[in-house]
Structure 1
Amino acid sequence: MFLFFFVFIETFYYYIFNINLTPSAIFIFFESNYIETNEFLYFYFDNYLLVYFLILFFNCLMVFFINTFKLKFSVPFLSKRWGIITSLIILLLLLRFTSLRHQNLPYLLLKSFYVVYFESKVYDLGVYKEEYGIFKETNKPEVSRDKLIVVIIGESTTSNNMSLYGYENNTNPLLNQINNLNVYKDVISPHAGTTASLCKVLSLDHYEDHKDKQQGAIIQLLNANSYETYWVSNQEPVGFAETAITKVVYSAKHKFYLNTGNTEEMHLFDEVVFNTIDNVIHKKNENQVLFIHLQGTHFFYKNRYPDTYQVFKGTTSYSPFDSPKNQEIINSYDNSILYNDYIVSTIINKVKDSNKESCVIYFSDHGEEVFRTIDFSGHNDEVGTLPMFQIPFLFWQSEKFMRNNAVDISLERAYMTDDLFHSIADLCDIQDEHVSLERSIFSSKFLQRKRIILNDKDYDSLLIREIGR
């Protein structure tokens, strides 16, 4: 039965992603909560896999029943014990000194368990449970200006399917009407998965120096500088993924998890965050940083929006991998972006109506491949197409904020969101030895750095190669 399980899992993965199973892929499985796992299977499991599953299972049962008959045989020159020992030694030598172990699911499972254990230790509460962490509390008297900074974190949204970025379908009619909205053209995520990306985005961790991941989170720095910190999430706070993220944001002074995974809440739309946002932004006499974690446009896409947003139907956009099934998926993804346009624009307008010295950042944790460069829809660091890293990055500021803060706007800056720690600190006018304005997209001191993705690949070199095709 174990052999049946191993063979089916490896074949299932290869069939979907067209690559061999890796420890990182298994690690992503442990990131997922029940809802995401259920939607993943519903999204990818098709009739071909069902037939393969039944054939494999039937053969497994046949072998099981055959083995119930005790067939005796003898080896004239070896005892049974020595035969088993010799076979095990040969097998272990093959696995140790060849690359076969890298294609062996038990080995991959063990390695992935190690990765999960290591990452859980890295993001241990011991690092993040303190209110200030490694940062020093400021003792200067604070004159409250009712400063409000809102950070909206989307999910699985690529800029390629947003009309703000030139997409043919009008997926951003509301955001397009907002004044003072800055649309950054060249921003990418550090990874194509939620946990890996956000644990960098929300902390000091970046690819040049991974030891920084154990040094502190942006929320701790904000706490140390007299900001009231809020974390509002429509993501279910279970599974390794959200557990790792909840550890990084553990020090937030006020936390609201609105999606607890109850049956009635399994498909809570992102508008559920509105009431909590209203309660927060209307508080007086405190400087606030409000983080909002949305479900965004995560697959299963049609579960991300109400029926009233089922606008795009039929053939509405071009794909080099066109088919009725693919077009249906593209339409549901575009509909989810249309609904996300409503969510983000509504939040910006709420902040605007608060009449505070305020600004809003919106970005997605990572992008999504939707039949743009390969015949596939989803995200995976192992597949690693460019749309999985190409994300929207929007910045809005009120008139009061513009008067009191010298934000250097340059929409063409090449930026990766693992430096968001420094950008938020810059907006909050925080001076700290751990803050580098050269890494802030809002600073005149910004310096472009090499953007490394997929472990060791230069994103900009890959982009030039892709454009040249």
Structure 2
Amino acid sequence: MRVFKGVFGIYSGKKEVSATKLIISTALFFVLFGNIAFFQHVFSIYPISFQNIGFLGSLAVGLTAILTLFLTLITSRYTIKPTLVILLIISSFTAYFMDNYNVVIDDIMIQSILETDLSETSDLASWRVLSYLLLLGVLPSLLVQRVKLVSLPLKKTVLYKARDCVVSILILTVMIFSFSKFYTSFFREHKPLRYYTNPSYYLYSIGKYAADILSPQETGVMPLGKDAQVVKRHGEERNDRKELVILVVGEAVRADHFSLNGYERETNPLLAQEKIVNFSEMYSCGTSTAYSVPCMFSHYNRKDYSPRKGRTNENILDVLNHTDAIDVLWRDNNSDSKGVALRVPYEDYSKPENNSVCSDGECRDEGMLAGLDHYIDQHPGRDILIVLHQMGNHGPAYYKRYPEEFEKFQPVCRTNQLEECTQQEIVNAYDNTLLYTDYFLSKVIGLLKGYDKSHNTAMLYFSDHGESLGEKGLYLHGMPYAVAPEAQTHIGSLMWFGDEIREKIDVEKVKKHKDQRYSHDNLFHTLLGIFEVETGVYNNELDILYNPSFGLDLIGGNIRTMSK
């Protein structure tokens, strides 16, 4: 308790304290206790040495000056206490996740946090996070509340604020110019270091996210592919054989843990027995579900996509709907569709009311297959796309994601506090979850095989992003894409085709290109191609399965039917 009192300069609840002293004390508290991850990353690049000690000290002083300046500008006598309390509580959580999982709280992470449901939040609860909340949030907040602020006239308050701002700017300027050689590389070459400053970077990220949400937007959702229509194939009438495609959207599956990609452990034993095409070089659009899922269904490529564009434009499901020939169903065992399935039939399988395969509060992906036979039989003479959004390898509680019989690799990490487990225990739990995904995908294929005589059947599998498992101190996912490790962007992906569609797709030709680099950018156009949809938004160069014998060709940005 004395440590907190010393930092805050509070020794008695009766002593009056100036706003300046309270703000500087809080800023110093943030630097000393809330920025451990930041300084750990700084020390890895600028080790503590006689040559670096001055620069490292200037970073601490400069960060304190920046926070003092910011807090001085945004607070008044009447808002200072609630503002500091809110920041202390939030910063205690961000410190926990940065210290223990090495995550970055950017605008994409802010979006993910706001879209996280209760079950996902419960996976992150632990005694350790509560200790951070208590020591870095609650206790200093109580001390802030005890402070009696000096009452000053408005004129003096304004003058003192101006003085504090000027002094903070002068200190920051002196620090930068005194160690300009260091700061040149710090700002130009080591930008990711700033991602770990607390609370400054998450406040910037909140502002960036809010600006995107609150910016003027188009009325409604912009239509896309209204010209879409299903064309004839090889001279056949459309009512002969219909497409039945199941698209599985995986969760947090990294490519290098697929045995199909050469991983030393057998994590895909059942899929290895199927006639699948495995895409070894598939990359995600983002590093979080909230970003990747809308992006992968969007017609924008990764470089052009933004969450705002995802919200205000129709996606591939809408384009397929515009044909009036394709029925779309979304079943979800994750948090939700992240806005992708707002205009198509949607079913929530994350709760026992719909999912019959649940135990101990965990609903299995396998439950999404129940009743699909009935759905398919109720849509005769129609092409069908079914999207199954998995819980998959959702962390950090990997051990919850699979039934007991899939626990092949042992010992496993049986807690959501990954810092308490060895890296091997974490990997074991993660790989067991891959075994269950392998089983689930084999069940999907088994279901489709039952319709191979009546439909052109296919299964497409794309994970939404990858996952870090402790490499270089990184866990989970959500790093900014520019600095994210390949473990978070290089994803598992494969396809299976029924006997009747294999020749039309020319699977042997697809196999020849299966190891070239693909990404989520290809999904939109691949779905249009497999359903043989003619529309001006289709680009056959991005269609993984493009086959001229389908009767489609891209001419000047438009689709035309090729003459036979």
Alignment TM-score, normalising by the size of structure 2? 0.65
> What's the CA shift for 1:393?
1.3
Q: Which residue of 2 aligns with 1:258?
A: 349
Q: Which residue of 1 aligns with 2:475?
A: 377
Quote the Cα distance in structure 2 between the aligned partners of 1:215 and 1:57. 40
> What's the CA shift for 1:420?
0.6
**Match status 1:145 vs 2:272:** no
Amino acid at match of 2:119: I
8 A Cα contact 1:236 1:260, kept in partner:
no
Which residue, 121, 145, 157 being the options, matches 1:37? 121
Report the secondary structure of 2:246's partner residue.
strand
Q: Which residue of 1 aligns with 2:226?
A: 135
> What's the CA shift for 1:290?
1.2
**Match status 1:273 vs 2:359:** no
> What's the CA shift for 1:64?
4.5
Deviation readout 1:351-384 (Å, 9 max, x if unpaired): 012222111111111111123x423331122361
Alignment RMSD: 3.8
8 A Cα contact 1:159 1:367, kept in partner:
yes
Which residue, 270, 292, 302 being the options, matches 1:174? 270
8 A Cα contact 2:249 2:389, kept in partner:
yes
8 A Cα contact 1:159 1:391, kept in partner:
yes
> What's the CA shift for 1:146?
2.5
Alignment TM-score, normalising by the size of structure 1? 0.77
> What's the CA shift for 1:288?
0.9
Quote the Cα distance in structure 2 between the aligned partners of 1:94 and 1:293. 53
**Match status 1:161 vs 2:257:** yes
Deviation readout 1:260-302 (Å, 9 max, x if unpaired): 4889784101111111322233443221111111111111211
Q: Which residue of 1 aligns with 2:62?
A: none
> What's the CA shift for 1:80?
4.1
Structure 2 unaligned regions, length at least 5 = 1-84, 177-186, 188-193, 232-236, 549-564
Q: Which residue of 1 aligns with 2:498?
A: 398
> What's the CA shift for 1:204?
0.7
Deviates further, 199-208 or 139-148: 139-148
Q: Which residue of 2 aligns with 1:86?
A: 162
Amino acid at match of 2:247: V
**Match status 1:338 vs 2:435:** yes
Report the secondary structure of 1:298's partner residue.
coil
> What's the CA shift for 1:187?
0.7
Deviation readout 1:392-418 (Å, 9 max, x if unpaired): 111111111123444540211210112
Overall identity of the aligned pairs, in %:
21
Q: Which has the higher contact order (CA 8 A, sep 6+)?
A: 1
Q: Which residue of 2 aligns with 1:357?
A: 456
Which residue, 212, 224, 232 being the options, matches 1:118? 212
Structure 1 115/56 Cα, relative in aligned 2: closer, same or farther at 3 Å?
closer
Amino acid at match of 2:488: M
Q: Which residue of 1 aligns with 2:557?
A: none
Which structure would you say has the larger Rg? 2
Q: Which residue of 2 aligns with 1:428?
A: 531
> What's the CA shift for 1:210?
3.5
> What's the CA shift for 1:325?
2.5
8 A Cα contact 1:95 1:101, kept in partner:
no
8 A Cα contact 1:269 1:305, kept in partner:
yes
Structure 1 89/428 Cα, relative in aligned 2: closer, same or farther at 3 Å?
same
Report the secondary structure of 1:210's partner residue.
coil
Which residue, 284, 294, 308 being the options, matches 1:199? 294
> What's the CA shift for 1:65?
7.3
**Match status 1:302 vs 2:405:** no
Quote the Cα distance in structure 2 between the aligned partners of 1:51 and 1:335. 31
Q: Which residue of 1 aligns with 2:110?
A: 26
Structure 1 147/21 Cα, relative in aligned 2: closer, same or farther at 3 Å?
closer
> What's the CA shift for 1:430?
1.5
Deviates further, 377-386 or 411-420: 377-386
8 A Cα contact 1:27 1:113, kept in partner:
no
Quote the Cα distance in structure 1 between the aligned partners of 2:530 and 2:150. 75
8 A Cα contact 1:192 1:379, kept in partner:
yes
8 A Cα contact 1:227 1:286, kept in partner:
yes
